[in-house]
């Protein structure tokens, strides 16, 4: 028999709580070989570590997924928002230069600060390394001969500027301010 320290009631020796007042009997703990704290997990330390590491890995994977899906694509990263709030969109190379002449020609083309030099004969088309918001310049001249020298600036496949000359040793130019 176990006497309750709170109310003095005599309980059976196997009782965990007092049958009279429901007080936890201390003697019953001595008979219990495993100690369990009230409100504690009944999980070993190794299992707790594995659970915490699993939560950290899942959180890292979710963060990585969210970060990667919030980044702009390479084409979207070429977009610029101006001071006035206007958005300039670009494809990789929106400008093309077309040069048409039956003879030999020489040309400089591209961003006015970084012109590329080209020579050729007949018709040629070049992709210009300029963003949609860049200014574009094309200068072309004949090496001699007769006929018309024609240059065109295309933006996304549409002619936005054009110039021609028929003069012997003539030259033409286009300056396009986007």
pTM over 0.85: no
Q: In this predicted structure, what is the pLDDT of residue 87?
A: 53
Cβ within 8 Å of residue 66, ≥6 positions away? none
Q: In this predicted structure, what is the pLDDT of residue 29?
A: 46
Question: What are the structural domain ranges in the chain?
Answer: 1-35, 93-176
Q: In this predicted structure, what is the pLDDT of residue 45?
A: 83
Q: In this predicted structure, what is the pLDDT of residue 132?
A: 75
Q: pLDDT (tens digit, 0 to 9) for every residue of the chain, 178 residues total?
A: 888 888 989 988 888 888 998 888 864 444 445 555 565 556 688 888 999 999 999 999 999 999 888 776 655 555 555 566 555 554 467 889 999 999 899 999 998 888 899 999 989 999 888 877 788 999 999 987 788 999 999 988 899 999 999 988 889 999 998 7
Cβ within 8 Å of residue 101, ≥6 positions away? 121, 122, 123, 140, 142, 147, 148, 149, 150
């Amino acid at each position: 028999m176990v006497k309750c320290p709170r109310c003095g009631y005599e309980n059976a020796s196997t009782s965990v709580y007092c049958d009279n007042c429901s007080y936890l009997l201390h003697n019953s703990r001595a008979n219990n070989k495993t100690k369990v704290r009230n409100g504690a997990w009944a999980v070993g330390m190794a299992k707790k570590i594995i659970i915490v590491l699993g939560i950290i890995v899942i959180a890292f994977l979710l963060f990585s997924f969210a970060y990667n899906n919030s980044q702009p694509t390479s084409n979207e990263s070429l977009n610029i928002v101006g001071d006035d709030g206007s958005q300039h969109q670009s494809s990789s190379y929106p400008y093309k230069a077309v040069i048409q002449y039956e003879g030999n020609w020489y040309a400089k083309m591209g961003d006015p600060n970084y012109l590329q030099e080209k020579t050729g004969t007949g018709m040629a088309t070049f992709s210009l390394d300029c963003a949609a918001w860049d200014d574009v310049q094309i200068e072309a001249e004949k090496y001699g001969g007769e006929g018309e020298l024609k240059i065109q600036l295309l933006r996304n496949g549409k002619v936005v500027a054009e110039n021609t000359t028929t003069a012997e040793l003539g030259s033409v130019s286009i300056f396009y301010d986007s």
